Every structure is written in C-alpha cells, then in structure tokens.
Chain A
C-alpha cells in the first residue's frame, strides 16, 4: 500500500511540476524580454509642403511597393493656393490617436497598434465602407479585388526592419522626413517640439499622431 501512495504522490508531483513548468516558462520568457526595456517606438512622418513640388513620385512609389492597381495609391494630391501660386497637400492615413475609422468599424478589422500605427486586418474586414465615410481625411481606398478597405500602413514591415516608407525614400525634393518622435535628438522630434510641424486639421478631433505638416507661411 505505501508503495501505491508514494507512486500516486510521485505522479501527482510530476503532474504539478509539469503544469507549473507549462505556466511558468512563458512567464519567465516574458520577464527576460521585458528586461531589455526597449523604449516604445513612436514614429513621425513630416511632410514639408514648402518643399513639395507635387511631382507625385511618392504616389507612384507607394503604388508600386504596395502593388496597387494603376491609378490607385494610399497618397492623394490636393492642389491648394491660387493659380499663380499653387502648392500641394499630400494626404494619406494620418494614423490618428482617436481614429474614427476604428470606432465605426463594425468588426475589429481596423485597430491601432501600441506604437500608434493604425492597421486593417483584411481577414476581418467585411467591406461595408463605413470607415471610408468616417475618415475626415478621405485616406481610405477600396480594394475591389479582395473587397476590403485599404490604406497607408506606414510600410510597417520595412520600418520595423530599419527601412523607410516608400514615399519617404522616393521623395525627390526631400519634403518627407521620417523618424522616431520618441528620440528627442531626432529631426522629427525637434520639428514637432518647435511647433513648425503640426497635425493636419486638428479641429476634426481625431488627434493625428504620426503625420505632421509644415505649412506655407500665411
């Protein structure tokens, strides 16, 4: 009998150890990774409209990198000013901190990452186009082939790999400045801190958190 008990206890202990290991190992792994304490990235993309010539290289580069059909791009060009003195406003997803597209989405397809990048999960999108109506920047396009909403994703895989968004790479006059706003030494952080780079139409209340614009002097 004692042998049976000890065997049962042994089995029980083994099982308990197994459960503890199964529960504990991921915890340990998590602790190890959080020990590195990487600062949370906060990206910024500043468009200097005083340098932008409206050439459209960004529009085309975006179209090519994202394999969009002819005539479609995540970037839209709006001509401002008067005929004698035109200037160009390039509009794409502003990656709002309070994104109305995510609020109105009836599924959970549109979401905001911790680093502020607003993304669409095309597997969850039903293609109701409510987000397209709700975006005051009209920054969303519709992918007719897949039947889902689509927009600028800041070329996230390239950016995470240390690269640049296609529009920034392609900009000929250097009107697009990309960097980490969480690094106070960076050019973008200084432009934002100095107040030269401002969010577009803050009165919409959507709190654009990645795109900022340097506007022509009034």
Chain B
C-alpha cells in the first residue's frame, strides 16, 4: 500500500471528477435546449454554479497536501513549467477550468434570477462586473458552457492519467483496459465515474430536492443511470480482472479490493450504494414509471458517496512493485 498520498488527494480526485461531471451535465442541458423547456432548471443551475467552488476547494486540498509549496506558495508557480509531467497539465487545466466554471455559474445565476442584475447594479463595488452582464447573456453563457465542457473532460480524465503515469512503480494504477489493449483503464473509468457522480449531484439530488420529482423533466434519467452503472461495472470489472491476470503487485491490489483488507470499502461503500442501490431504484422506476423523491435523493447520495470511496480505494490500494 502506498502511503505518500491519502485522503486530501482522494477528496480532490472526487471533487474534481464530480465538478467536471456536473458541468458536463449542465452543458448538455444547455446545448440540447432542455435548459429552456422550463422557467426554472435546477440541474443547469447547480451544474453550472457548483463546479467552480468544488474545484477551488479541491485545489486548496492539493495545496494543503504539498510540503514546501504550502509554506512557500510561490513555489507553486514552478509547477506550470515542466510539461513532461501530467501534474503540470493538471495545474494548467485547473487554472483554466476554475475561472471558466465560475463565470459560467455567474452567467447561469444571471439567467435564472434576472433580479440579480438589479442587485449587482445597486452595489458599487460589484459594478466592475458590468462587462459580463452587459454582453448578450445566452450567447456568452453558451460559449463558457462549451469551453467549460471541453476543459471538464480534461479535468475528469487527467486525474486518471496522472495516477496511471507512474507506470511500473505502482502497476495496479496503470492496469490496461484489457490484457491485450495497452491503454490504461483509470482515465476511462474516472471519466465515466465523473459523469455518473455529476448526474447524481445535479439531477438525482438537486433536481429532486428542488422539484420534488424529476420524472417530467428527464424521462430518460433511469435509462441513462442504468447505462452508466452498466458501463462502470464493465470498466471496473475489466480493470480488476486484467489486474488479476497481470499478476504481481497489481494482482495483489485487486485481491485486496475483492476479498482482502479493502473488501468492506469496496462492497459496502462503493458497490452497494453506487451500483446495486441506484440500479434497483432506477430499474424499479422504469417498471413503475415513476420515482419517489426519497429514492431519487437516495440514489443520488449513494452515487456521490460511492464516487468518493472509489477514488479513495483506487488511491490507497496502489501497492508498489516488489523488488
């Protein structure tokens, strides 16, 4: 088990993934026109406003976890300079994503609550933001949603690349998609998990809490969730099987996850709340044709909690190669 990276990094990976996923959902609502079918769209509102603050929190956790960089923060500037390092890509992605997400969220608030404009105008110290609210609102918002979505895919994927880039040092992290396909699985898994947790946050949780029910808003929701759960099961299953077949410390990691010291985390904090429970809830909704608010919120929370522990598990179960 590796000990260099612990909870702060796991929480960052989770917040980064969920924030990126939530922004992707909001952008999907924006570009599909679903955002404008109703007067009030909590999914787009949460999906646009939450990623910026989530990523700021995640970045603070990263800085908190640094050694010399925490005490002498100007050293963080050096991290922009070494492009062979995936961490340098990440620093650039965060630097670009956070302001874009914040502006997108701001424009979404302006769109959802037109009274905000009045309030801003009455605050002398906020008048400098006029350059933003005087632009054609929806076109500008669309640009930020599009750029934000591209950056979000980068943020969700690079975390997986970052971890798998250590290669032979921690073989489990660079487990291939399949034993004969030399592409690391983690970037793919993290991207799907990011979309899944983003959907859980913006639709299951936010929309259900705001509207009481999400049926009439997103009829295909149960189907999307079933597809995502199916994809995640397939990807995670393939990763564990490929790791077992690879042997060595990758196989040891997989064994610890399936039936060893991390089995409780895996089965009861990841598979049960994030796979089995939402599967039952959404399959039930398809059969019955409707969701209860409790099951919607429950599946949303389950998916989010499962996403957090998935990052923690992948991180903590990395076993260095035996010498």
List chain A positions with a Cβ less than 8 A from chain B.
78, 89, 91, 100, 103-109, 122, 124-130, 132-138, 142-144, 146-149, 200-201, 203-205
30 residue pairs from A and B, CB less than 8 Å apart? A78-B323, A100-B169, A104-B86, A104-B87, A105-B85, A106-B88, A106-B91, A107-B75, A107-B81, A108-B78, A109-B78, A122-B68, A124-B75, A126-B76, A126-B78, A127-B70, A128-B67, A130-B162, A132-B4, A133-B318, A134-B165, A134-B169, A135-B169, A138-B323, A147-B67, A147-B70, A148-B67, A149-B67, A204-B169, A205-B167
Residue of B nearest to A146 (CB): B68
Is B69 located at the chain interface by the 8 A CB criterion? yes
Q: How far apart are the CA atoms of A204 and B169 in the complex, in Å?
A: 8
Q: How far apart are the CA atoms of A100 and B86 in the complex, in Å?
A: 12
* A105-B166 in contact given A126-B68, A147-B71 (Cβ < 8 Å): no
Q: How far apart are the CA atoms of A149 and B70 in the complex, in Å?
A: 14
Majority DSSP secondary structure for residues of A touching B:
loop
A108/B81 in contact, CB under 8 A: yes
Q: How far apart are the CA atoms of A104 and B84 in the complex, in Å?
A: 7
Is B79 located at the chain interface by the 8 A CB criterion? yes
- Nearest 5 A/B pairs, CB to CB: A127-B67, A147-B67, A126-B69, A107-B78, A106-B87
Besides the known contacts A105-B85, A106-B85, A138-B320, 14 further A-B residue pairs in the complex with CB atoms under 8 A apart: A104-B87, A104-B165, A106-B79, A108-B82, A124-B78, A127-B70, A128-B67, A128-B69, A130-B85, A133-B166, A143-B67, A147-B69, A203-B168, A204-B168
Is B130 located at the chain interface by the 8 A CB criterion? no
Q: How far apart are the CA atoms of A125 and B66 in the complex, in Å?
A: 10
For B4, list chain A residues within 8 Å (CB): 129, 132-133, 142
* A134-B167 in contact given A126-B66, A148-B68 (Cβ < 8 Å): yes
* A91-B323 in contact given A107-B79, A129-B4, A147-B68 (Cβ < 8 Å): yes
- Range of interface residues on B (Cβ < 8 Å): 20 to 34
Is B207 located at the chain interface by the 8 A CB criterion? no
For B1, list chain A residues within 8 Å (CB): none
Q: Which of A103, A125, A204, A205 contacts B68 (CB 8 A)?
A: A125
Count chain B CB atoms within 10 A of each CB in A91, A107, A134, A200 and give the residue with the most.
A107
For A133, list chain B residues within 8 Å (CB): 2, 4-5, 166, 169-170, 318
Count chain B CB atoms within 10 A of each CB in A128, A135, A143, A144 and give the residue with the most.
A128
For A136, list chain B residues within 8 Å (CB): 167-169, 320-321
B68/A130 in contact, CB under 8 A: no
Q: How far apart are the CA atoms of A142 and B4 in the complex, in Å?
A: 9
List chain B positions with a Cβ less than 8 A from chain A.
2, 4-5, 65-71, 75-76, 78-79, 81-82, 84-88, 91, 162, 165-170, 318, 320-321, 323
For A132, list chain B residues within 8 Å (CB): 4
B10 CB to nearest A CB, Å: 14
Q: How far apart are the CA atoms of A136 and B162 in the complex, in Å?
A: 16
Q: How far apart are the CA atoms of A122 and B68 in the complex, in Å?
A: 9
Residue of B nearest to A137 (CB): B323
* A126-B79 in contact given A104-B87, A137-B323 (Cβ < 8 Å): yes
Q: How far apart are the CA atoms of A100 and B170 in the complex, in Å?
A: 12
* A106-B78 in contact given A127-B70, A129-B4, A134-B165 (Cβ < 8 Å): yes
A196 CB to nearest B CB, Å: 20
A130/B69 in contact, CB under 8 A: no
* A129-B5 in contact given A104-B165, A106-B82, A107-B81 (Cβ < 8 Å): yes
For A134, list chain B residues within 8 Å (CB): 165-167, 169
For A89, list chain B residues within 8 Å (CB): 323
B211 CB to nearest A CB, Å: 42
For A201, list chain B residues within 8 Å (CB): 321, 323
B174 CB to nearest A CB, Å: 11
Residue of B nearest to A126 (CB): B69
B203 CB to nearest A CB, Å: 35
